[in-house]
Amino acid sequence: MFSSVKAYENQHYTSLKKQCQSSGTLFEDPLFPPVDESLFYQGNRIGRVHWKRPKELCADPHLFVHGISAHDLHQGQLGNCWFVAACSSLASRESLWQKVIPDWKEQEWDVEKSNSYAGIFHFRFWRFGDWVDVVIDDRLPTINNQLVYCHSNDSNEFWSALVEKAYAKLYGCYEALDGGNTADALVDFTGGVSEPVDLVECQFARDEASRNQLFDRVLKVHNRDGLISCSIRAASSADMEARLDCGLVKGHAYAVTDVRKVRLGHGLLAFFKAEKLCMIRMRNPWGEKEWNGPWSDSSEEWQKVSKSEREKMGVTVQDDGEFWMLFEDFCKHFTDLILCRLINTSYLSIHKTWEEEVMRGSWVRHDDPLRNLAGGCINHKATFLQNPQYVFDVRKPEDEVLICLQQKDRRARPKEGKGENLAIGFDIQRVELNRKYRMHSTQQKVAGSIYINSRCVFLKTELKEGRYVIIPTTFDPGLQGEFLLRVFTDVPAECKELTLNEPPQTCWTGMCGYPQLVTQVHVVSAEGLQGQGADGASDPYVVISCDGEKVRSAVHKDKRNPEFDIKGLFYRKKTREGIHIEIYNKNVICDSFLGQVILTSDPNDLQQQHTVHLRDRGNRQSNDLPGTVTVRIITSNVLTNI
Q: Note the pLDDT tens digit of each residue in 433-462.
A: 999 999 999 999 999 999 999 899 999 999
Work out the mean pLDDT of the chain and round it to a whole number.
Answer: 88
Cβ-Cβ contacts under 8 Å for 251 (sequence gap 6 or more): 231, 232, 233, 234, 239, 240, 241, 242
Give me the sheet containing 276-283, strands edge to edge: 193-198, 336-341, 227-231, 253-263, 276-283, 322-326
pLDDT at 407: 94
pLDDT at 62: 93
5: nearest Cα among 128, 131, 113: 131
Span between the terminal Cα atoms of the chain, in Å: 42
Verify whether residue 351 is a known catalytic residue.
no
CA distances from 283 to 190, 292, 300, 320, 493 (A): 20, 13, 21, 8, 40
- Angstrom distance (rounded) from CA 297 to CA 315: 7
Verify whether residue 284 is a known catalytic residue.
yes
Of 71, 151, 252, 522, which residue is the catalytic one?
Answer: 252
Which residue numbers in the chain have pLDDT < 70? Answer: 1-3, 265-275, 287, 316-319, 350, 411-419, 532-534, 601-607, 618-625
pLDDT at 619: 54
pLDDT at 266: 60
Of 20, 80, 81, 377, which residue is the catalytic one?
Answer: 81
- Angstrom distance (rounded) from CA 601 to CA 580: 11
> With a threshold of 0.95, does the pTM exceed it?
no
571-581: pLDDT as tens digits: 998 888 889 99
Verify whether residue 246 is a known catalytic residue.
no
pLDDT at 376: 97
Provide the 10 A C-beta neighbour count for residue 35.
11
pLDDT at 588: 83
pLDDT at 67: 83
DSSP state at residue 420: P
Of 284, 387, 421, 585, which residue is the catalytic one?
Answer: 284
